[in-house]
């Protein structure tokens, strides 16, 4: 049960129940859908980029507690970041979630560290990375991205 | 014939059946394994594991054309299994049993060798909304190649095929073939296949029955059903993965061109032209999964020796117990409430996503499945992306059904 409680920390549950920036962004400059064909979950990420800076990030869609909390946390941490900083955050998050980084590696990204519990649940890592892949796809101009290549 | 005092199956009978499955005795972490993912694959009794092991230890050789002792033993084992399968589903002739990789390959074989040559532009392939992707996608591929259309008969809110709509489609559309599932893997609905097959016959429409779930849940008799084709997989019938069966009416199989070309399916090969063997060899190109066939034969024989009616009644009681228990939890919605159901309880929990439920149950040693169960069109029909699905088999116990309910109640509390 300890692994389970580490996965479903208060922060995760709180963001799952009250996701931040959970809405469409009609005036967005970028958007993309992330799709996980294994479960059918889909998340749409919207960005408003102004002068190389992410002015606003929102998301919508169906998902489990892990993907929803990850998306919610993502919108908070990316708001106001410069594009190159945002890419760096994603790289750090990906490393931390897939177990390629020491656990302490996420301290600098604050609440996102709560997502680290997922590394002990290999079947759930894609739930956590789904919104991030959609975010990257939006910046790249890809309309739709899948967790299954 | 199902008996009434199902719940009271003799404990020693159940213990004996359960004891035949070595995998069930293990713990997951600190918890005894509760295996409730039987619609995905069933576990294997010792009789099957031993048959496969014995085959590799004692009889392994390539089949047919071998003059040596091992090849003859392997060939006998392979063909004996074919006879066992024919008897098990009531096929009049062993030549009507074609071994495939599974239900999926059996459907593909019928789609390409039977349907494709006869499909014309505008023809309709009639399915239902509750089909598994394995009984949708092969038809879409041949439809694309021929200009035919795939049309699903609608499913009611309860998860039953809308029979009026099914009949109307047969009457009004140029239906060239009807393919439908016997027992739904995602809802547990037992379809009225006899009625559906009679309606198709009356319209002169050939039929394929997807019996992947049904062969372990109901007596299946192809002669009584009078379907044109029937497909199932070994691994959902206590047998090995990678082996399945296509049953076909002899006249169809005789007339169908090969599905794949290769060794063992030819009468004579020359660069001027090749002639093919008759069925079933015509459809079994290359060295087949001999060990799988041997294991499937052992599975069929093991299953036939069990008190199947009593075990099915016991399983129905498990489904009722789990359904009632889960339905009593605040926020639980049962998906699929057909009048006749088997094995499966699909459900949703208001505040928890199916994947979260699955992860929580796994931490207590309870194996269920979460997701769309390869039935995305059906999920779309219900406006959901997936469900949590517990699926029972003959070796599950009342205590396991209760543990599922208790664990889901805990998940509900955690997320509320």
Query: What does the DSSP assignment read for B288-322?
Result: --HHHHHHHHHHHHHHHTS-HHHHHHHHHHHHHHH
Tokens 């399916």, located at residue: B265
Burial of B282 (0-12, 13-18, 19+ CB in 10 A): buried
> What CA–CA distance (Å, rounded) separates B161 from B199?
13
For residue B351, which residues of chain A lie inside 8 Å, CB to CB? 17
Tell me the CATH number for domain A2-146.
Answer: 3.90.1010.10
Query: Residues B415, A79: contact at Cβ < 8 Å?
Result: no
Nearest residue on chain B to A3, alpha-carbon basis: B363
Residue B22 lies in a domain: yes
Range of the domain at B231: 50-304
pLDDT score recorded for residue B13 = 95
**B386 shares a domain with B291:** no
Give the pLDDT of chain B (416 residues) as one tens digit per residue.
444 544 478 999 999 999 999 999 999 999 999 999 999 999 999 999 999 999 999 999 999 888 899 999 999 999 999 999 999 999 999 999 999 999 999 999 999 999 999 999 999 999 999 999 999 999 999 999 999 999 999 999 999 999 999 999 999 999 999 999 999 999 999 999 999 999 999 999 999 999 999 999 999 999 999 999 999 999 999 999 999 999 999 999 999 999 999 988 888 999 988 999 999 999 999 999 999 999 999 999 999 999 999 999 999 999 999 999 999 999 999 999 999 999 999 999 998 999 999 999 999 999 999 999 999 999 999 999 899 999 999 999 999 999 999 999 999 999 98
Rounded to a whole number, what is the distance in Å from the CA of B384 to chain A's nearest CA?
Answer: 9
CB atoms within 10 A of CB A52: 8
Which of B278, B304, B330 marks a domain boundary?
B304
Q: How confident is the model at residue A114 (pLDDT cuts 50, 70, 90)?
A: confident
Q: In what order do the strands lie in the sheet with B332-335?
A: B332-335, B344-349, B387-391, B369-371
For residue B386, which residues of chain A lie inside 8 Å, CB to CB? 39-41
Considering CB atoms only, which of B360, B363, B385 is closest to A41? B385
Q: How confident is the model at residue A106 (pLDDT cuts 50, 70, 90)?
A: low
**B184 shares a domain with B260:** yes
Note whether B28 contacts A: Cβ–Cβ < 8 A: no
- Residue A108 pLDDT greater than 90, yes or no: no
Which of B254, B269, B304 marks a domain boundary?
B304
**B335 shares a domain with B218:** no
> What CA–CA distance (Å, rounded) separates B7 from A119?
42
pLDDT score recorded for residue B230 = 98
Work out the average pLDDT over A65-70.
94
Predicted confidence (pLDDT) per residue in A22-39, tens digit? 999 999 999 999 988 777
Would you call B414 and A7 a contact, using CB atoms and an 8 Å cutoff? no
Q: Enter the ipTM.
A: 0.85
- Residue A104 pLDDT greater than 70, yes or no: no
Residue B316, C-beta contacts closer than 8 angstroms, at least 6 positions apart: B2, B6, B342
Q: How many CB pairs under 8 A join A and B?
A: 46
**B359 shares a domain with B236:** no
Nearest residue on chain A to B387, alpha-carbon basis: A39
Burial of B175 (0-12, 13-18, 19+ CB in 10 A): buried
Query: Which CATH number belongs to the domain containing residue B233 in this structure?
Result: 3.40.640.10
Residue B43 lies in a domain: no
pLDDT score recorded for residue B191 = 98
Considering CB atoms only, which of B360, B371, B415 is closest to A40? B371
Rounded to a whole number, what is the distance in Å from the CA of A140 to chain B's nearest CA?
Answer: 27
Active-site positions of B read 374
- Bond before B336 cis per omega within 30 degrees: no
**B125 shares a domain with B13:** no
Residue B37 lies in a domain: no
Considering CB atoms only, which of A4, A42, A124 is closest to B355? A124
**B264 shares a domain with B240:** yes
**B206 shares a domain with B142:** yes
Residue A23 falls in which region: left (phi positive, over 0), alpha (psi -120 to 50) or beta: beta
Residue B173 falls in which region: left (phi positive, over 0), alpha (psi -120 to 50) or beta: beta
CA atoms within 13 A on the CB side of B64: 14
Interface of A with B (CB under 8 A): 1, 3-4, 7-8, 13, 17, 38-42, 62-66, 68, 121, 123-124, 127
Q: What is the 3-state secondary structure (H, E, C) of B161-179?
A: ECHHHHHHHHHHCCEEEEE
DSSP state, residue B273: E
**B369 shares a domain with B256:** no
Query: What does the DSSP assignment read for A89-144?
Result: HHHHHHHHHHT-S-GGGGGGGGGGGGGGGGGG-GGGHHHHHHHHHHHHHHHHT-SE
For residue B372, which residues of chain A lie inside 8 Å, CB to CB? 39-40
Tokens 């359960």, located at residue: B18
**Residue B250 tokens, joined:** 């002899």
> What CA–CA distance (Å, rounded) separates B78 from B289?
9
Spell out where chain A has E strands: 30-36, 41-50, 53-62, 144-146
Query: Which CATH number belongs to the domain containing residue B387 in this structure?
Result: 3.90.1150.10
Query: Residues B270, B140: contact at Cβ < 8 Å?
Result: no
**B258 shares a domain with B122:** yes
**B246 shares a domain with B128:** yes
- Residue A111 pLDDT greater than 90, yes or no: no
Which of B277, B304, B331 marks a domain boundary?
B304
Residue B44 lies in a domain: no
**B199 shares a domain with B157:** yes
Burial of A70 (0-12, 13-18, 19+ CB in 10 A): buried
pLDDT score recorded for residue B6 = 45
End-to-end CA distance of chain A: give it in Å, rounded. Answer: 32
Residue B28 lies in a domain: yes
Answer with the residue of higher pLDDT: A60 or A144: A60
**B270 shares a domain with B204:** yes
Work out the average pLDDT over A76-98.
90
Structural domains in chain B (count): 2
pLDDT score recorded for residue B1 = 43
For residue B415, which residues of chain A lie inside 8 Å, CB to CB? 13, 65
Chosen for mutation from A8, A14, A18, A40 (greatest number of chain B CBs closer than 10 Å) is A40
Query: Residues B326, B299: contact at Cβ < 8 Å?
Result: no
Predicted confidence (pLDDT) per residue in A9-22, tens digit? 899 999 999 999 99
Nearest residue on chain A to B369, alpha-carbon basis: A39
SS3 content of chain A, % helix, strand, coil (to 5): 55, 20, 25
> What CA–CA distance (Å, rounded) separates B32 from B166?
45
């Amino acid at each position: 049960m300890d692994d389970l409680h580490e996965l479903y920390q208060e922060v995760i549950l709180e963001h799952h129940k009250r996701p931040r920036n959970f809405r469409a962004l009609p005036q967005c400059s970028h958007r993309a859908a992330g799709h996980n064909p294994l479960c059918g979950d889909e998340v749409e990420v919207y960005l408003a980029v102004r002068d190389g800076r992410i002015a606003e990030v929102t998301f919508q869609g169906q998902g489990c507690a892990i993907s929803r909390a990850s998306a919610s946390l993502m919108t908070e941490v990316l708001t106001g970041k410069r594009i190159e900083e945002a890419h760096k955050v994603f790289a750090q998050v990906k490393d931390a979630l897939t177990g390629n980084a020491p656990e302490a590696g996420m301290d600098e990204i604050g609440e996102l560290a709560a997502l680290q519990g997922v590394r002990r649940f290999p079947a759930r890592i894609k739930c956590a990375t789904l919104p991030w892949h959609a975010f990257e796809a939006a910046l790249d101009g890809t309309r739709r991205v899948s967790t299954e290549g | 014939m199902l008996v009434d005092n199902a719940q009271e199956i003799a404990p020693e009978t159940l213990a004996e059946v359960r004891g035949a499955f070595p995998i069930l005795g293990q713990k997951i972490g600190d918890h005894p394994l509760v295996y409730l993912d039987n619609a995905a694959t069933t576990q294997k009794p010792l009789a099957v594991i031993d048959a496969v092991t014995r085959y590799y230890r004692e009889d392994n050789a390539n089949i047919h054309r071998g003059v040596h002792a091992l090849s003859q033993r392997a060939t006998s084992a392979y063909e004996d299994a074919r006879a066992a399968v024919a008897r098990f589903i009531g096929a009049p002739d062993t030549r009507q049993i074609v071994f495939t990789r599974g239900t999926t390959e059996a459907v593909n074989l019928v789609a390409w060798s039977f349907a494709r040559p006869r499909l014309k532009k505008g023809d309709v392939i009639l399915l239902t909304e509750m089909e598994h992707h394995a009984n949708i996608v092969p038809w879409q591929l041949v439809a694309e190649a021929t200009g035919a259309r795939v049309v699903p008969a609608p499913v009611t809110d309860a998860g039953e095929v809308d029979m009026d709509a099914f009949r109307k489609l047969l009457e009004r559309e140029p239906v060239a073939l009807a393919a439908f599932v016997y027992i739904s893997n995602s809802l547990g609905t037992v379809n009225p296949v006899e009625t559906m097959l009679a309606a198709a016959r009356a319209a002169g429409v050939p039929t394929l029955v997807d019996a992947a779930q049904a062969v372990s849940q109901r007596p299946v008799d192809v002669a009584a059903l009078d379907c044109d084709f029937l497909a199932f997989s070994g691994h959902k019938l206590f047998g090995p993965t990678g082996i399945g069966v296509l049953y076909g009416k002899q006249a169809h199989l005789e007339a169908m061109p090969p599905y794949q070309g290769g060794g063992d399916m030819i009468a004579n090969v020359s660069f001027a032209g090749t002639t093919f063997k008759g069925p079933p060899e015509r459809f079994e190109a290359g060295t087949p999964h001999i060990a799988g066939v041997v294991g499937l034969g052992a599975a069929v024989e093991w299953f036939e020796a069990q008190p199947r009616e009593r075990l099915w009644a016991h399983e129905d009681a498990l489904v009722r117990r789990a359904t009632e228990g889960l339905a009593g939890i605040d926020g639980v919605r049962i998906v699929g409430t057909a009048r006749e159901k088997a094995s499966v309880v699909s459900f949703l929990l208001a505040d928890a996503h199916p994947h979260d439920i699955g992860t929580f149950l796994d931490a207590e040693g309870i194996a269920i499945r979460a997701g769309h169960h390869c039935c995305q069109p059906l999920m779309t029909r219900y406006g959901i992306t997936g469900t949590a699905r517990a699926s029972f088999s003959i070796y599950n116990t009342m205590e396991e059904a209760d543990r599922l309910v208790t664990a889901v109640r805990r998940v509900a509390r955690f997320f509320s």
